[in-house]
Structure 1
Amino acid sequence: MKITVLGTGGGARAHIARLAGLGHEVHVGTRDPKVTLARTGPDPMGTPPFKDFLAQHPGIQLHTFGEAAAASDGLVINGIDGHNAVAALSAIADPLAGKTLADYAVPYIYNPDIERPWPTPWGVNPILDPCDSDSLGEQIQRALPHTKVVKAFVTQEQETVTDPKSIGGEHTMFIAGDDDAAKQQVTDLLKTYGWDDVLDLGPLVAARGMEMYAHMHLAIGLALGFGTRFGIKVVR
């Protein structure tokens, strides 16, 4: 299958490598491939240059966002940062039309100037915008009415999303969306990644809870020790 991943950060790379390992033809989208390949230092998150990653994964094809979306034969994974996702995806609405977009972006606002900040080892924790009365997933769906948006992967580190067995035990992955066939497509992918427990939360409005869970994920991660990978199990 031809699957597209939009983004070149650490999370996107987890999907790119796993999909390639599963035998898929992987197309990667970035704003400007020449700029991406010219980088020689790590990104703000400390991720090494993408050209180093490509050298370790031959066969991966790098394109502009639009070219990559057009190359997919039905499934696109959105790894564009939440602050820029709506604008970037709106610009490629045509090649995304009719396709399933699995979105794991979180609507973070970094370095917020707020009265009561949440300090973390790397500085003030970002805030969410939108929150409560809207979600990034819903904003993307409104911007792309002809694309089937499925909120998925967002409640977990992407390295764990793509290899859930790596931390042992059975844990739960959540999805939400308004198109049942699209949700099944994403569920099928998750099963190939190794997930046994995929919980459908219903329509895309549930993306609000999924995105807001990012703060709880941080709290648990800090309690366990930053960098510790973990999963959440819904017992029922």
Structure 2
Amino acid sequence: MKIAILGTGGGARAHIAKLAELGHEVHVGTRNPKATLARTEPDMVGTPPFGPWLAEHPGVELHSFGHAAARGELIVSGIDGHNAVSALSAIAGQLAGKTLIDYAVPYLYNPDIEHPWPTPWGVMPTLDPCDSDSLAEQIQRALPDTKVVKAFVTQEQTTVVNPGAIGGGDHTMFIAGEHADAKQQALDLLKAYGWSDVLDLGPLVAARGMEMYAHMHSAIGFALGFGTHFGIKVVR
């Protein structure tokens, strides 16, 4: 299958490598391919530059967002939440009729708030939108001809592509969306990754809870020790 991954950060790289390993044709999208390949310093979270990493993954092609989306039959978006709607709206034509799996958290970094939450990397970002809307819903409204599914967002992406690394894979992944066929595509991909427990939360409005869970995920991670990977299980 031809799959487009939009983004070049650590999470996107986990999907790129796994999908290539599974035999898919992977097309990677970035805002400016030349600038991405020219970078020699780590990004804001310490991820090494993409060029040397790409060189170690022959067969993976780097394009602009639009060119990658045009080539993909299924789209996975890791574009950061602050820029996702504008970036995806600009390539709406290339996304029309396709399933787009969004795993971004709508973080606003370095917020100026009255009661900040200190973390090992600085002040915890705030969520915008929150409560009465979600990033996934904003994307769906901006792209009415695209089938948006929210998934992957409640885990580190390295765990999404390798659930067996935690508890033998006995933990829960969530999906939400308005289109049954699109959710089935997300489910098929998750099964290929190794997931056996996937809970469909229903319509895309459930993405609000999935995105807001990011703060709880961080709190658990801090309690276990920064950098500890873990899963959560819905017992029913």
Give the TM-score normalised by the residue count of structure 2.
0.99
Moved more, 190-199 or 162-171: 162-171
Q: Cα offset for 1:210?
A: 0.1
Residues 115-160 of structure 1 deviation map (CA, whole Å, 9 limit, x = unaligned): 0000001110000000000000000000000000000000000000
Alignment partners' CA distance in 2, 1:52 and 1:201? 39
2:60 aligns with 60
SS in 1 for 2:83: helix
Distance 2:90 2:186 in 1: 23
CA RMSD of aligned residues (A): 0.5
**Deviation, structure 1 residue 52:** 1.1
The runs of 5 or more residues in structure 1 that have no matched partner are: none
> Partner of 2:118 in structure 1?
119
| C-alpha distance in structure 2 between counterparts of 1:201 and 1:66, whole Å | 30
- Residue type matched to 2:173 in 1? M
Q: Distance in 1 between the 2:30 and 2:8 partners?
A: 7
* Partner secondary structure for residue 35 of structure 1: helix
Q: CA deviation at 1:55?
A: 1.1
Q: Secondary structure at the match of 2:54?
A: helix
Structure 2 residues not aligned, in runs of 5+:
none
Q: Aligned with 2:198: secondary structure?
A: strand
Matched with 2:19 is: 19
| 1:43-96 CA-partner distances (Å, limit 9, x unpaired) | 1110111011111111100000000000012x1000100000000000000000
Name the structure 1 match of 2:35. Answer: 35
- Residue 92 of structure 1 corresponds to 91
C-alpha distance in structure 1 between counterparts of 2:55 and 2:145, whole Å: 36
Report the alpha carbon displacement of residue 168 of structure 1 after superposing the two structures with TM: 2.4
- The alignment's TM-score, normalised by the length of structure 1, stands at 0.99
Partner amino acid, structure 1, of 2:126: I
SS at match of 2:112: coil
1:178-193 matches, within 5 Å, as 178-193=178-193
State the alpha-carbon separation in 2 of the partners of residues 167 and 40 from structure 1: 33
Partner Cα separation in structure 2 for residue 69 and residue 20 of structure 1 = 17
Q: Structure 2 matches for 1:88-167, cutoff 5 A?
A: 88-167=87-166
Q: Aligned partners of 2:99 and 2:8: how far apart in 1?
A: 19
**Equivalent position of 1:83 in the other structure:** 82
**C-alpha distance in 2 between matches for 1:144 and 1:194:** 30
Q: Deviations over 1:15-51 (max 9, x none)?
A: 0000000000000000010000000111111011101
Aligned twin of 2:200 = 200
CA distance in 1, matches of 2:166, 2:226: 15
* Letter matched to residue 16 of structure 2: I
Equivalent pairs: percent with the same residue?
A: 79
Aligned residue for 2:79, secondary structure, equals coil
Question: In structure 2, the residue corresponding to 1:189 is in which secondary structure?
Answer: helix
Aligned length: 235
